[in-house]
Amino acid sequence: MVRVARLNLIDTWPMKGPFNVIFCRNVMIYFDKPTQQKLINRFWDFLEPGGHLFVGHSEGLSAISHKFHYVRPAVYRK
C-alpha cells in the first residue's frame, strides 16, 4: 500500500509504521544538524528491521550519529 500525502517532518506523524522503506531525498539539507539528527532517529524508529532508508546523494549520514548500516551511497539499512 502506498499513500502520498503532505507531511511536516518536525511535527507528530499521523502514521504508525513500521515501514519497509523510507524515501527522504534532498530534504534534510535544509535543516540544521540537530534537526537532521532528530529525523534520522525518527526514521530508525519507524523502519522495520532490515528496512531501507534512501536519502539524497548530498545528504550522507557521515556527520550524524546513527545506527544504520551503509549499503551504498544514499542507501542505508536498519
Q: What is the pTM of this model?
A: 0.87
Would you say residue 21 has pLDDT above 80? yes
pLDDT value, residue 18: 93
Q: Report residue 29: phi and psi, to 5°.
A: -60, -20
pLDDT value, residue 64: 87
Average pLDDT, the chain: 91
pLDDT value, residue 17: 82
Residue pLDDT, tens place only, 42-61: 999 999 999 999 999 988 78
Question: Would you list the domain boundaries of the chain?
Answer: 19-77
Percent of the chain with pLDDT over 90: 71
How far is it, in rounded angstroms, from Cα 50 to Cα 30?
27
Strand ranges of the sheet holding 47-55, from the earlier edge strand across to the other edge: 19-24, 47-55, 75-77, 69-72
